[in-house]
Structure 1
């Protein structure tokens, strides 16, 4: 079926059609940016209503294949509520249900296993304030220690506690995670987190060359800026532009 909806990313948009469209777009964009991991990793979006149902990818489709109508609706117990031939990734359910369970502001949760994001998550120091992008991310960054493939629901309270009120997380030895009130906000936060990680990996690869340090006052100023909401830029500038890009190169996401 064709999924139609209002303009991209507006936090006031609450209809399921628009949420499905935006979430399918996020999967296609993840593939376009080279952040996907075969059929693994996941992005979820909560649906309106009191039951806290959310949408997640059909386990077995590549991210470049996902469409608005193929996304699977599940409840907070992990039960499929759509007649989909595909299962849901159990680890994906554990991570995403943990966040949706306790964060009313979590309209979207995004989790990746990128090489650079995982590399920085595995570094003991984590993300360092080496550049402007990292400094803007750091104020909203949390960490969660690795406990193995996320199949054990007993891990959920610890992940919830570690995330707290932050919207960006490095999962140690595992990958990256972001939260947003909209798909646009979660994707935008992930873009800057992943970019900061790539910048760090490239900087630290220049072995033997001294780093040019930023004054602490400048770092503090940028971290304060990073605490400001990303919503206006994400929802009204970045996301509509990304949807226009997808409409040119991968328009099937709307189906």
Structure 2
């Protein structure tokens, strides 16, 4: 599919955001978290306006490029011409979180097999892995209300997320918030692995739970283990991986 480049039509800052967001879509596909065309990653464009980028509905995640991302306002009006629609359910979830959280530079939502499986368990995420401790330190839960098409659900989504970084959507999947695209991706990588580990561990007998006191001070621990770089410790390497496989996400 030939999509004209938008590089000359947007600021350098927006273009870099588009490249990072397109990379995140490709990585979600690469790691097997995508659900055909049915989930979303959105990124807030810096500035006073509530404008953000979201995927063109109908494209597989491994097809998405920087120029194919759709730029919309808070009411889902397109701000640059695009032949693609925006998924209304995705818009309800993502726009309300961007509206409520000024720090929500990126919102990433998946329907992965392990994520949905854990979201359907009454116990939710269990403290049984190192990965789970980072999630549990900032995790909320949102009860299932059907496909997210109704504006009436927005206040409850905002309430249940609060100031947390991770949200388990009951019977639905996983959602994370990050200040940047790299941060949101690393959050989802950790969340997804915590869920996969839980499903695997539950098939093997009695579980050993981590002492709740270990959850204290996890933000400081995270900074230590990433050499103070946060998600940026891994993001350049992930981009190099994509560039080796298929650099067309940059177009």
TM over 0.5: yes
The Cα shift of 1:233 comes to 3.8
Which stretches in structure 2 are left out of the alignment for 5+ residues?
none
The Cα shift of 1:210 comes to 2.5
Determine which of 63, 81, 84 is the counterpart of 2:82.
84
What is the RMSD of the two structures over their aligned residues, measured on CA atoms?
1.9
Which stretches in structure 1 are left out of the alignment for 5+ residues?
5-12
Matched, 1:220 2:220: no
- Deviation track 1:199-243 (CA, whole Å, cap 9, x = no partner) reads 00000022xx222343x2xx4224421476668444431111111
- The 1:158/1:2 distance shift into structure 2, 3 A limit, reads closer
Contact 2:42–2:106 at 8 Å: present in 1 too? yes
Contact 1:136–1:223 at 8 Å: present in 2 too? no
Determine which of 3, 22, 25 is the counterpart of 1:24.
22
The Cα shift of 1:192 comes to 0.1
Determine which of 52, 55, 61 is the counterpart of 1:54.
52
- Deviation track 1:118-169 (CA, whole Å, cap 9, x = no partner) reads 1111100100001111112101111001100000011001000110000111
Indicate the SS of the match to 1:133: helix
Contact 1:137–1:223 at 8 Å: present in 2 too? no
Contact 1:42–1:111 at 8 Å: present in 2 too? yes
Determine which of 240, 243, 249 is the counterpart of 1:244.
240
Give me the TM-score of the superposition, normalised by structure 1. Answer: 0.90
- Deviation track 1:12-58 (CA, whole Å, cap 9, x = no partner) reads x9810110000000000000000000011000000122211000000
**In the comparison of the two structures, how many residue pairs are matched?**
242
Give me the whole-angstrom Cα distance separating, in 2, the residues matched to 1:239 and 1:105: 19
Deviates more, 1:234-243 or 1:40-49: 234-243
| Matched ranges for 1:133-152 at <5 A | 133-152=131-150
Indicate the SS of the match to 2:217: helix
Larger RCO (CA under 8 A, 6+ residues apart): 1
Q: Could you list the runs of 4 or more consecutive aligned residues of structure 1 that deviate by over 4 angstroms after TM superposition?
A: 226-232
Give me the whole-angstrom Cα distance separating, in 2, the residues matched to 1:158 and 1:84: 31
